[in-house]
Chain A
Amino acid sequence: MSAAPSAAVGDNEVARLFERRAASLDEFAGHAGTVAAACHAMAVRFHQGGKLVVFGTGASSTDALHVAVEFVHPVIVGKRALPAISLTADAATVTGIAEREGMGAIFAHQIRHLAAPADIALGLSADGNSESVLNGLLTAHGMGMLTIALAGAGGGVIGASPAVDHVLVTTESDPRVVKEAHVTAYHVLWELVHVFFEQPGVLGPAVVS
């Protein structure tokens, strides 16, 4: 093809784009303590019979689906299936609530009717300011659920919300780079929840902080 100028897309540009991703991973590694605490808290909830409820809008809606399938149908043979649902799969309910009550209510409504106090809420927001994700987390927190958030662009209102028990903040604001950091974050959450889950001794009341 000769329609486009090759100068627009050189090798150096590709290398630069890939290199750009490194800083958000270094930042994630710096939050290892939060990751460990969140994994432990999640494992305790699963151990007690809770399920994981995941939500996000736009690109993050696909991440919510990804997280759910990750837990329900583990890619690593021998890992136990854990209960998880995405609140972004039901277009009938989401569009129905959005039209009637507004976008801000799409996850809170589903959480009120599908979730239980023993459950875990995981909200993803690339800019940290998604109203529907924040409302979902607020509703979940009010019900007594464990609340976890992955938030980009410095965390926004979600990163600052006292309703969120564990938040992993990415400073990066490019939504594509944030998404990539989120994919690593939830893969690691999945992988490391199993470390606790396979050792129920650390999930008993005596060691739950």
Chain B
Amino acid sequence: MESLYPFLYSGSTPDLDAVLAEVRASTVAKAREITELRQLIAAQDATRLAACATEMAARFSGGGRLLAFGNGGSATDAQQLATLFLDPGPGERALPAYCLANDTAVVTALCNDVGVEVVFARQIAAFGQPRDIAIGLSTSGNSENLLRALDEAARHGLLTVGIAGYDGGKMAELDSLDYLFVAPSSSVHRIQEAQTTVYHTLWQLTVASLAGIR
């Protein structure tokens, strides 16, 4: 921290212009960081992203639905993922998708009565169908409730997709995952930004693949 923002530790009178200059430089550096991370993921995952989207298209084509889930900021990504398929905008094909973090009655009931580790697994057990798709988003890859949900989904025959960060965490050790996409960074923020591109790309490729299915 001290090396990043030395003016904070100098002990001298704060100089607003110096702080503003540091913040500008930091902004430029962070923008470069995320672009480099995206280049890395495109190089490492292009083939598997395309394969995953092809399988997702086949699931939708067979009447399957997308169930997305995550915690905290990743819960909002799961919501974005679901609404992207369900309400993609004019000229795009709407597809069935639902975010398992949406319903505060269900989520708080499961948290209160059983525990946070079952909030997504129980919902998958309740309405997941073998032809559906389960996508779990986590920056650490370690969220217990995601690991349980992906295991539950695999048991029911769903296509299972994990989107993680760092080195993939415990998700990388999960036998139940059909696809895992990792944003290899140690910044939670850059991970989430890259994950957004991963699932936006999955959507775009899935829609393109579906257009090819007659």
**Residues of A in contact with B (beta carbons under 8 Å apart):** 1, 3-11, 13-15, 17-19, 21-22, 25-26, 28-29, 31-33, 35-37, 39-40, 58-59, 62-63, 65-66, 69-70, 73, 75-76, 175-177, 179-180, 183-184, 187-188, 190-192, 195-196, 198-199, 201-202, 207, 209
Contacts and interface: CB of A to CB of B under 8 A. Distances in A.
Interface residues of B, number: 67
Nearest to A35: B27
Interface of B: 5, 7-8, 13-16, 19-28, 30-32, 34-35, 38-39, 41-43, 45-47, 49-50, 53-55, 57-58, 61, 72-73, 75-77, 79-80, 83-84, 87, 89, 139, 188-189, 192-193, 196-197, 200-201, 203-205, 208-213
Nearest to B81: A62
Contacts, number: 190
A175 B27 contact: no
Return the 7 tightest CB-CB contacts between A and B, nearest first: A201-B14, A18-B42, A14-B46, A29-B31, A32-B24, A187-B189, A32-B27
B137 to A, nearest CB: 12
Given A21-B197, A39-B23, A207-B16, A4 B209 contact: yes
Given A183-B192, A187-B189, A207-B14, A40 B73 contact: no
A1 B55 contact: yes
Nearest to B99: A62
Contacts of A59: 80, 83-84
Contacts of B23: 32, 35-36, 39-40, 192, 195-196
**B-side binding surface: helix, strand, loop or mixed?**
helix
Contact of B204 (A15, A176, A191, A209): A176
